[in-house]
A and B are shown apart, each in its own frame.
Chain A
Amino acid sequence: MDGKQALDFGASSDFPSLLRRHGLLGPVAQIGPMNTRAEIVPTESTTILAFKFSDGVLVAGDRRATSGNTVVYDRADKVLEIDRRSIMAIAGVPATAWEMARVLEHSFQFFRRTQLQEMSVDGKVRALSKLLRDNFGFALQGVGIVVPIFATYDVKASPSGRLYFYDAMGAQFEATDFAATGSGSPAVRGILYYENTWGKKPLQKISEDEAVVVALRALDTASEADTATGGIDRHAKIFPIMKIVAAEGIRTLPEEKIAELFQNRVA
């Protein structure tokens, strides 16, 4: 790429199309004829959950990465920081998901730098939707399905914590209280629904410590029946990753704190 070529452009704020122009991002996957469609392999083996609580949004994910029946890795990080106030949590094929997160992170920064303002929350939510849509052809071929959750904090809205979940085609849904995705999510969704409806307090009213306990119990329950969810590894002391999105930004909960709450209120 010589400099002349780089200057030869119409102003663009879309980072993925810039990458495609330079051949740095794979093509948009074409959807083939339906009769040649491969069997869709449900590979979103994981449990990711997120819910709003009194201080913001808590996002938690187990640590297990699997390939078929094999546990490949037990310290995977599926809760990824995209910018100061946005988290993308991923269920699905790691290679595609991490690449998406990277594109998204750079897209937001690129937009801010070129347009001299933050991208709006709606713009960010839509950007992820577009990436999923572009990837759908691969998902149909059974190689790269990603079903993420996106949590962010909108200082201009009330309540400020915003939570979205997606399907593999890129449809976005805003969650009022909670969202869960991955193979272990049915159990988690049941627990969160129960807690929110018949628990002592609705999820949006509970404290940070209570929120951590709910998340730990939910992930533990998910791993009880779902082999693809790591839950809590009591032997090796591997705990889920938990991050909180709040007004001041993103905070990763220290492992000691999670361990302590686990010992006292979950184990």
Chain B
Amino acid sequence: MIEEPYRWVEAIATRRDYIEMQLATGSPVVALGYDEGILLLTVGQQKLFEIYDRIALGAIGHPGDIERLRMAAIELASTEGFTRSAADVSLRRLAYYSLSPVMKNAFEQIYGAPFLARLLFVEIGTSPADDLFLEVEYDGAINLRSSDGGNRPFAVLAATKKSAEQMAGLLSKRFQSGKDLPATLDLALDAWTVGQLKTDEAMPGEEELRRQRSERLGSGTVSAAVLERNTNRAVLFRAVEGSKLAPLIPK
């Protein structure tokens, strides 16, 4: 019976394997800081979203689960922003206080359905040191990366742990501060391509990477969104439309 502790642990492990398998085909998401803000990029179906004035979301997983979590995040942020002010809407609080406990709970209630989703939230601050990159796993685990503690301003979501490591490796190696948007798009697309490699594939050379990238981009639509630091609008999120995106992407 499931009441026995060992069975419960076993069931959780099985559930973990099941979820990882479900997420294994997801298209990676890259969040990358640049001179005027933060870029979010993915290829394929729409999964970059505006949550609040300064908060954006990228996700991998089942569209239905992503949608429920996205709606919850928007409702929480909007009610907070309405009752108090936009400045009081905090990504940390949203993730730690609201989303994580619910996701953990759903994951551990083994007779119920877990969330098949991996989320990456990005919050832009008044200066790059205040930027936050926050990942919430399907089991509620949170991985917080602030640019403050000497971290470079990027984060990734990938289908597997190995892919995420490879993407982060490439970004650490090639990231330079003060780049403009086209250069940042270029690097983000390279990172996305690396995230698509098979698990046993070694990191390709520059030329091979470029070849694979144009091959993969031929069969998918790039979608991108930015959080812009220096604008006089209150809403810092902006989806980069396809027509404006194409000329920015280096061939």
> Is the A/B pair a real complex?
yes
Which residues of A approach B to under 8 Å, CB–CB? 1-4, 6-7, 9, 11, 15, 18-19, 22, 24, 84, 102-103, 106, 109-110, 112-114, 116
Could you say which residues of chain B place their CB within 8 Å of the CB of A11?
A: 67, 71
Do A3 and B71 touch (CB < 8 A)?
Answer: no
- The segment out of B11-19, B95-103, B119-127, B200-208 that lies at the interface is B95-103
Asked if B72 is at the interface (CB within 8 A of a chain A CB), the reply is yes
The verdict on A6 contacting B72 (CB below 8 Å), with A19-B79, A24-B83, A112-B50 known, is yes
Complexed CA–CA distance, A108 and B67 (Å)? 19
Interface residues of B in 165-186 (CB under 8 A from A): none
A-B contact pairs, 8 of them (CB 8 A): A1-B79, A3-B97, A3-B101, A103-B82, A106-B78, A110-B74, A112-B50, A113-B52
The verdict on A3 contacting B78 (CB below 8 Å), with A9-B71, A11-B71, A112-B50 known, is no
Do A18 and B78 touch (CB < 8 A)?
Answer: yes
* Partner pick for A6 among B46, B51, B98, CB 8 A cutoff: B98
B65 to chain A, nearest CB (A): 11
Complexed CA–CA distance, A15 and B51 (Å)? 14
* Partner pick for A19 among B46, B52, B82, CB 8 A cutoff: B82
Complexed CA–CA distance, A139 and B138 (Å)? 49
Could you say which residues of chain A place their CB within 8 Å of the CB of B99?
A: 3
Could you say which residues of chain B place their CB within 8 Å of the CB of A112?
A: 50
Do B72 and A113 touch (CB < 8 A)?
Answer: no
Asked if B128 is at the interface (CB within 8 A of a chain A CB), the reply is no
B56 to chain A, nearest CB (A): 11
B124 to chain A, nearest CB (A): 16
Query: What is the interface of chain A mostly: helix, strand, loop, or mixed?
Result: helix
* Partner pick for B72 among A7, A24, A116, CB 8 A cutoff: A7
The verdict on A114 contacting B98 (CB below 8 Å), with A7-B68, A19-B79 known, is no
The verdict on A113 contacting B82 (CB below 8 Å), with A3-B98, A3-B99 known, is no
The verdict on A109 contacting B79 (CB below 8 Å), with A3-B99, A3-B102 known, is no
Query: What is the interface of chain B mostly: helix, strand, loop, or mixed?
Result: helix
Do A113 and B74 touch (CB < 8 A)?
Answer: yes
* Partner pick for A18 among B75, B102, B105, B235, CB 8 A cutoff: B75
Complexed CA–CA distance, A174 and B25 (Å)? 51
B84 to chain A, nearest CB (A): 11
Could you say which residues of chain A place their CB within 8 Å of the CB of B98?
A: 2-3, 6
The verdict on A113 contacting B78 (CB below 8 Å), with A3-B98, A24-B83 known, is yes
Top-5 shortest CB links A-B: A3-B98, A3-B102, A7-B72, A106-B82, A113-B74
Complexed CA–CA distance, A7 and B113 (Å)? 14
Most buried by B among A7, A15, A24, A112: A7
Complexed CA–CA distance, A117 and B78 (Å)? 17
Could you say which residues of chain B place their CB within 8 Å of the CB of A1?
A: 79
Do A24 and B102 touch (CB < 8 A)?
Answer: no
Give 15 new A-B contacts, CB below 8 A, not counting A7-B69, A19-B82, A114-B74: A3-B72, A3-B98, A4-B102, A6-B72, A6-B76, A18-B75, A19-B79, A22-B79, A24-B79, A24-B83, A103-B82, A106-B78, A109-B78, A110-B78, A113-B78
Q: Which residue of A lies closest to B235 (CB)?
A: A109
